[in-house]
Chains A and B, each alone.
Chain A
Amino acid sequence: MQWLKRLFSRHRRYDDLAISIQEHLDERTDELMEDGLTREEAAQKARREFGNVTVIAERSREAWQWPTLESIWADMRYAFLRLGRSPGFAATVLLTLAIGIGANTAVFSVLNSVLLKPLPYPKSEELVGVWLTAPGAAGLANFAEGLRLSPSMYFTYAEQNRTFQSLGVWIAGTANVTGVAQPEQVHTALISDGVLQTLKVPPAIGRWLSQADQNPHGSRAVMLSFGYWQRRFGGDHSVIGRNITIDAQPWEIVGVMPRGFRMVNADFDVIVPLAFDRNKQILAGFGYHGIARLKPRVTIAQADADITRMLPIWMDSWSNGPGTNPHFYETWRITPAIRPLKQEVIGNVGGVLWIVMGTLGVVVLIACANVANLVLVRTEARQQELAIRAALGAGRARIARDLLTESVLLGLMGGVCGVAVAYEGLRLLVAVGPANLPRLSEISLDARALIFTLVLSLASGLLFGLIPVLKYAGPRTPLALASAGRTASVSRDRHRSRNLLVVAQVAMALVLLVSAGLMIRTFQELRTVDPGFADAEHLQTMRIAIPASLVASPQMVTRIQNNIVDKLAAIPGVTSAGFANAMPMEGIQSDWDEIFIEGKNYAGETSPLRLFKYASPNFFHAAGTTLITGREFTWSEIYDQRPVAIVSENLARELWGTPAAALGKRFREFPSMPWDEVIGVVEDVRDNGVQENAPGIVYWPSMTHNLYGPGMLEAVRAVTFVVRSDRAGTESFIREMQQAVWSVNSSLPLASVRTMQEIYGQSMARTSFTLVMLAIAGVMALVLGIIGIYGVISYAVSQRTREIGIRLALGAEKKTILRMVVGEGLRLAGAGVVVGVVVALLLARLVSAFSRLLYGVRASDPLTFVSVAAALTVVAILACYLPARRAASIDPMRALRTE
């Protein structure tokens, strides 16, 4: 810290030095006066003898300095001073940079928090998601990203593996909590043993669920999430050991997970043990997410090989019941597809974020081009000063440093403003919260983001600072001094770099606008797709689950659901009501299985998997799903357990040729089951999202023998009710629905109360998020581009005032001048548009090859390209028109007199 002390004692040192030198001179003067000189002569002679006081004092002070730093500091002070003298310039540059850098910092923070930061679990690089693929199971590809694990697989893998420290399965669900105030539906995370050991996050209080808690006949223990503990129990520590009523059963609370803990990608309120009954497991039941922690230094490939080894063991150890072939699954060609857990958490959002990041990078480039233009003009004004300095012996490096100091300073100041912009932007983003953005709660401006900002600011400063340096710090000819003087017009050369910048700006703006345009077209295309339901805004949905512990009999469940539908339909303003196990796009996992149609020989052949859904009478009418032929279920068919089914149009066409031909045809799920008769065909539904193809769907009655395998009558207990009404979404309507439900059974909570429009919007969230971000970037690019063109043209006009004056004086018409100036701008814009179109074509093709962002639009969509190019050209003409009009209205007398 020696140097710090020195820094602070420095001014005393300087004063001492000045006093010493003064006394030196005074004494010498006195001496000379004693020799007979007058005071003035003596003082003069003393000074002459001493030498250059300023230089000597300066050299003496250097003993206390770090000379390079001091002179950079001086440069910086000078730069500040200059900026202070042109606040308009400084404000424009800072604003431009703040927006450009701020937007980048914000998106980088998102990118960093979502994609780059490790998951918030200890040693998270060891965590993997255990998935399988089954290319031989036709139709499976329609349903999920792959094949999940069945409980029997879990047992086999957990017990026989050689590559995992721990392995477990989990699934998200819902449950009803009663006994405290209003009944409430909570989100549950159902976990097997091994899940908590894998994630390795210790509880905030209490203990983990233990292996003993997984005993299906043992005690019932649950854990709470931090949020639920705070919300429901006020963070009371004595909650451990207390009971909570979940689905009408008492459970003991044994622990609370810490704040911010998520089950992979799911927020939950309660952790409930899956408690598989080992004796009842079969091969099938592929409904569970597998997670595991790899042993140290084990690769994913090794783990895959380990799973491959265990697959035959699994088939040998379990069965699907008497008379079934356990090695049937060999036809599915199951192969492991283990992937890092992070990939599972962030899903497919990565591509979108990188695209947005790239787009905003382009915006910063455009902003830099604008600033570079401004700086160029400023430097041009200083040209004389620089030439004089060069003539006096300032080296190239010294002048370059002087020019760069100002730019880098601007860049850094812009970065500071940018951080403020980013901070606000992120707060906004998290508040708006695009629902499908994973790890949203983890987003923050951290050290890495700040370093990114610093680097970006420095880089921008250097980027726009280097252009004037290259132009003006070079070896100057004496002409530089002369040309700044009285000449008629400026050389072409001086405009070239500014023109190039404008061309680049227009090109980049065009690329961004084309991207935004393609997204708008995609959005339009998606809006025209018939999702398989109608008038989503007036369709109210809510989920109600009736747990077996509350109502055991499936008939009773159906009766309650029937009563609820009747009550809902009786609410004033309701036109129809019904329910199904899940609405399209709700993201609720449905069942799927094979069906076998009557009269077809399936010898040795497997049939594709079909999506199974379960519907109430009148459901399609309420949802607005068109019944193409036939009819819907009736309540009596459901109560009487008639073997009936409804199929989707595409399935009817595939199996029987036409929808009409399907009516009366029969199929079954298991050879031992009675045949089910097709009584209706409904239009296709985009069940997995608007952008996904409509799967072939079999609709069963809501109470059926087929739900959990052959012969067991069961009713779907967790269902989504749909109510069609013009009052959908209003508070009063929701209250009346609640009353209607509670008049049937007061311990049933309503969950996920929302309109179909919200569900639909969420399924489009990725597209709309990308669209909004690209649109913002496009508009920023457009505005910056316009400013760029306007700035360059109007500067050129101001430089050519004299020339234009002469032209006018010699008889040029105003129209000609107007055309000349606009033409110049147009040439630049035109060049930019041509370059931009080429780049955009290449880029759009590249991007659409790697991501599935575009839908129904080709990457080279002519409409988008032509309209964007035309719009940009028109805007460019407008930007040139103002300076052109000013040029045309120049008074020749005044223009020539000013010199």
Chain B
Amino acid sequence: MLLFQHTYFQNRYYWSIMLGMAKNSDRRDLFPGALEMMILHSLRLKPMHGYALVKHIQQISDDLLQIEEGSLYPALQRMLREGWLKSEEGISAKGRPTRIYRLTPAGRRRLEQEVSTFETMLAGITRVLAVQKA
């Protein structure tokens, strides 16, 4: 299964991005790589700090997706380590010091790769689901 990046597959924190509307009942994990893909994509639009990132994904997805902080911060640190992001000192909307995350060229390449992988997978799943009962 090429889709499942093995390094993240092994990571026990990876699986915890939840479908927001079902937060307390019927938990369902997203596939691996989804959180990263959304973070990378969001930061390509505009560098943001952590809380802004959570708000952004929540708003864009109309509260369908809600990122757990327990997953976000470890993921950000991992992505910093991989060199996909860099962090810089910044000021939040309320004028307090915070750290702004910005996409690097390596992050951009990574995003493109992830998106194309995702699209291939989606196409595959769609085709499987499109098969009608004879």
Residues of A in contact with B (beta carbons under 8 Å apart)? 6, 13, 16-17, 19-21, 23-24, 26-28, 30, 49-52, 55-57, 59-64
Taking CB atoms, residues of chain B closer than 8 Å to A62 are: 74
Query: Do the beta carbons of A51 and B50 come within 8 Å of each other?
Result: no
Query: Do the beta carbons of A59 and B70 come within 8 Å of each other?
Result: yes
Within the assembled complex, what's the spacing in Å between the Cα atoms of A13 and B87?
Answer: 9
Interface size range of chain B in the complex: 20 to 34
Within the assembled complex, what's the spacing in Å between the Cα atoms of A174 and B91?
Answer: 91
Cβ-neighbour of A27 out of B13, B68, B80, B92 (below 8 A): B92
The A-contacting residues of B in range 93-110, CB under 8 angstroms, are 93-94, 96-99
Cβ-neighbour of B77 out of A19, A24, A55, A63 (below 8 A): A63
In the complex, the chain B residue whose C-beta lies closest to that of A59 is B74
Query: Do the beta carbons of B69 and A56 come within 8 Å of each other?
Result: yes
Query: Do the beta carbons of A63 and B70 come within 8 Å of each other?
Result: no
Not counting A19-B98, A51-B70, a sample of 10 additional A-B residue pairs whose C-beta atoms are within 8 angstroms of each other reads A17-B73, A19-B99, A20-B50, A20-B99, A23-B50, A23-B51, A23-B97, A51-B68, A56-B74, A63-B78
| Chain A interface SS verdict (over half) | helix
Taking CB atoms, residues of chain B closer than 8 Å to A6 are: 81
Within the assembled complex, what's the spacing in Å between the Cα atoms of A19 and B73?
Answer: 12
Taking CB atoms, residues of chain B closer than 8 Å to A56 are: 69-70, 73-74
In the complex, the chain B residue whose C-beta lies closest to that of A23 is B98
Please judge, given known A-B contacts A19-B98, A57-B73, A59-B74, whether A24 and B81 are in contact too, CB under 8 Å: no
Within the assembled complex, what's the spacing in Å between the Cα atoms of A278 and B81?
Answer: 83
Within the assembled complex, what's the spacing in Å between the Cα atoms of A30 and B94?
Answer: 9
In the complex, the chain A residue whose C-beta lies closest to that of B87 is A16
Most chain A CB atoms below 10 A, which of B77, B96, B98: B77
CB distance from A419 to the nearest CB of B (A): 39
CB distance from A187 to the nearest CB of B (A): 69
Query: Do the beta carbons of A60 and B74 come within 8 Å of each other?
Result: yes
Per-residue interface assignment for chain B, residues 45 to 70, with 1 indicating a CB less than 8 Å from any chain A CB and 0 otherwise: 00001110010000000000000111
Q: Is B76 an interface residue (CB 8 A)?
A: yes
Taking CB atoms, residues of chain B closer than 8 Å to A27 are: 51, 92-94
CB distance from A610 to the nearest CB of B (A): 87
Per-residue interface assignment for chain B, residues 22 to 62, with 1 indicating a CB less than 8 Å from any chain A CB and 0 otherwise: 00000000000000000000000000011100100000000
Within the assembled complex, what's the spacing in Å between the Cα atoms of A52 and B74?
Answer: 13
Query: Do the beta carbons of B87 and A24 come within 8 Å of each other?
Result: no
Query: Do the beta carbons of A63 and B81 come within 8 Å of each other?
Result: yes
Please judge, given known A-B contacts A13-B80, A64-B81, whether A26 and B94 are in contact too, CB under 8 Å: yes
Cβ-neighbour of A17 out of B69, B77, B94, B97 (below 8 A): B77
CB distance from B94 to the nearest CB of A (A): 6
Cβ-neighbour of A20 out of B13, B49, B81, B93 (below 8 A): B49
Taking CB atoms, residues of chain B closer than 8 Å to A20 are: 49-50, 73, 76, 87, 98-99
Taking CB atoms, residues of chain B closer than 8 Å to A64 are: 77, 81
Query: Do the beta carbons of B74 and A51 come within 8 Å of each other?
Result: no
Taking CB atoms, residues of chain A closer than 8 Å to B70 are: 51-52, 55-56, 59
CB distance from A502 to the nearest CB of B (A): 49
CB distance from A449 to the nearest CB of B (A): 42
Taking CB atoms, residues of chain A closer than 8 Å to B50 are: 20-21, 23-24
Taking CB atoms, residues of chain A closer than 8 Å to B78 are: 63
